Copies of this chain bind each other. A is one copy, B any other.
């Protein structure tokens, strides 16, 4: 049996509202009413509206870093590893497109301190992709002239899904992730 605390209900409500209207477009009243509480109840569990955003953003960044890090450890073959990394990273963005929008598009709304903390997670995500490409080049399996630029492009394929992906639409997350993974291999494989 899973107990959902008031704090978690507020976080779920914040995810809904931030993803739909953006951070600035969301009122604390909207979050409260989605969570079935009065406006004042929000502040018992979260100091400010921004601290709610930070909680969501931090958890989302950590989750996506976990996903790509785990994928990076699945195979010793650089091509299959890259395929898995792009597949899992893309699938995460499709399956979590609401959190993904907050992660990717509300970064600027964080306080400078919170932004700095999250920026380190972003660098880890990029570094994980760069390392996978560099290893594949070292092993002579991948052909990548610009490793950091290509890493950004591969991540963009997954990240940009959150801009338009609609759950229940004609394309499934699995289909899109499979396509992105195949394109990633074609982009980088040595011929």
Contact-residue bracket for chain A: 20 to 34
List residues 129-180 of chain A with CB under 8 A from any CB of chain B: 146, 149-150, 152-153, 156-157, 159-161, 163-164, 171, 175-176, 179-180
Instruction: Collect the chain B residues with CB atoms within 8 Å of residue A159's CB.
Output: 160, 163
- Distance between A152 CB and nearest chain B CB, rounded to angstroms: 8
Instruction: Collect the chain B residues with CB atoms within 8 Å of residue A180's CB.
Output: 153
The answer to whether A183 and B105 have CB atoms under 8 Å apart is no
Contact of A175 among B149, B179, B191 (CB under 8 A): B149
Contact of A149 among B108, B160, B179 (CB under 8 A): B179
A106's closest neighbor in chain B, by CB? B22
- Distance between A104 CB and nearest chain B CB, rounded to angstroms: 6
The answer to whether B24 and A150 have CB atoms under 8 Å apart is no
Instruction: Collect the chain B residues with CB atoms within 8 Å of residue A109's CB.
Output: 22, 25
Q: How many copies does the complex hold?
A: 2
**Given A156-B157, A159-B163, A191-B191, is A146 in contact with B179 using a C-beta cutoff of 8 Å?**
yes
Instruction: Collect the chain B residues with CB atoms within 8 Å of residue A188's CB.
Output: 186
The answer to whether B156 and A179 have CB atoms under 8 Å apart is no
Instruction: Collect the chain B residues with CB atoms within 8 Å of residue A22's CB.
Output: 22-25, 108-109
**Which of A109, A157, A161 is most buried by chain B, counting CB atoms within 10 A of its CB?**
A157
Query: Which A residues are within 8 Å of any B CB, using their own CB?
Result: 20-25, 104-105, 108-109, 146, 149-150, 152-153, 156-157, 159-161, 163-164, 171, 175-176, 179-180, 183, 186-188, 191
Given contacts A156-B160, A160-B160, A186-B186, 7 further A-B contacts (CB under 8 A): A21-B108, A22-B22, A22-B108, A24-B25, A150-B179, A156-B156, A191-B191
Mind listing 28 A-B residue pairs with CB under 8 Å? A20-B108, A21-B24, A22-B22, A22-B25, A22-B108, A23-B25, A24-B24, A24-B25, A25-B109, A104-B163, A105-B105, A105-B163, A149-B171, A149-B179, A150-B179, A150-B183, A152-B164, A153-B157, A153-B180, A153-B183, A156-B156, A156-B157, A156-B160, A159-B160, A159-B163, A183-B187, A186-B188, A187-B187
